[in-house]
């Protein structure tokens, strides 16, 4: 059915069989941003948010989320991740999160990187929502991927 690998001949959802694919080194980088009031960003920078160290907790949450991607996204394969790294850049108007996920496996890690970014930003929101309920999470996207049959890709 139109080349969509997660659909069978009848159009029903299915998990793709990757058992015969070769194991290759794969990496994906995703990014997203949360914008907020300057006062909220200043409180995060100063470490004065009541719930604690926002960036440290968000980083750990993103790493944990990447490891749970197959539990959250129904047709994703569980992957043995060799690396999950979350870089956070705080400026006067918010936080940009960049996640890198890597594995040696039979399928890519794009969803793991995207999940890591999403949960990282949701955690920032949760920890700082008392300071600014109008925070905006957005621009979540894949920046690059390497490895696999389709090869390397960059936005």
What single DSSP character describes residue 75? T
Query: Mean pLDDT over residues 89-108, rounded?
Result: 95
| Mean of pLDDT values over 67-74 | 94
Taking only the tens place, the pLDDT of each residue in 35-63 is 999 999 999 999 999 999 999 999 999 99
For residue 85, count CB atoms less than 10 angstroms from its CB and return exposed for 0-12, middle for 13-18, buried for 19 or more.
middle
Q: What is the mean pLDDT of the chain?
A: 91
Tell me whether residue 71 is one of the annotated catalytic residues. no
pLDDT attached to residue 105: 87
Q: Which residues contact 23 (CB under 8 A, 6 or more apart)?
A: 104, 105, 106
Distances (CA, A) of 61 to 1, 2, 16, 123: 37, 37, 28, 7
Determine the distance from the C-alpha atom of residue 46 to the mean position of all C-alpha atoms in its chain, rounded to a whole number.
26
Strand intervals (E) in 44-152:
81-91, 94-105, 136-146
pLDDT of residue 19: 63
What mean pLDDT comes out for the span 62-89? 95
Which residue would you say has higher pLDDT here, 22 or 118? 118
In this predicted structure, the answer to whether residue 120 has a pLDDT above a threshold of 90 is yes
Is residue 134 scored above 60 in pLDDT? yes
Yes or no: say if 119 and 65 are a contact pair by the CB < 8 Å rule: yes
Confidence of residue 1 (pLDDT cuts 50, 70, 90): very low
- DSSP lists the bridge partners of residue 85 as 100
Span 113-124, average pLDDT: 98
Q: What is the pLDDT of residue 66?
A: 98
Instruction: Check residue 139 and give its pLDDT.
Output: 96
Contacts of 75 (CB under 8 A, 6+ apart): 6, 13, 14, 15, 16
Per-residue pLDDT, 75: 86
Taking the C-alpha atoms of residue 3 and residue 16, their distance in angstroms, rounded to an integer, is 12
Instruction: Name the catalytic one among 53, 71, 126, 152.
Output: 126
pLDDT at site 149: 82
């Amino acid at each position: 059915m139109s080349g969509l690998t997660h659909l069978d001949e009848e159009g029903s959802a299915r998990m793709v069989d990757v058992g015969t694919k070769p194991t290759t080194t794969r990496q994906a980088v995703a990014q997203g941003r949360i914008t907020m009031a300057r006062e909220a960003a200043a409180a995060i920078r100063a470490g004065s948010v009541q719930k604690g160290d926002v960036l440290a907790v968000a980083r750990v949450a993103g790493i944990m989320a990447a490891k749970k991607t197959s539990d959250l996204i129904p047709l994703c394969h569980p992957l043995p991740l060799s690396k999950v790294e979350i870089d956070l850049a705080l400026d006067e108007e918010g936080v940009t999160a960049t996640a890198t996920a890597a594995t040696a496996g039979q399928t890519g890690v794009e969803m793991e990187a995207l999940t890591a970014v999403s949960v990282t930003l949701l955690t920032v929101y949760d920890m700082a929502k008392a300071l600014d309920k109008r925070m905006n999470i957005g621009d979540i996207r894949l920046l690059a991927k390497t490895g696999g049959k389709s090869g390397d890709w960059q936005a």
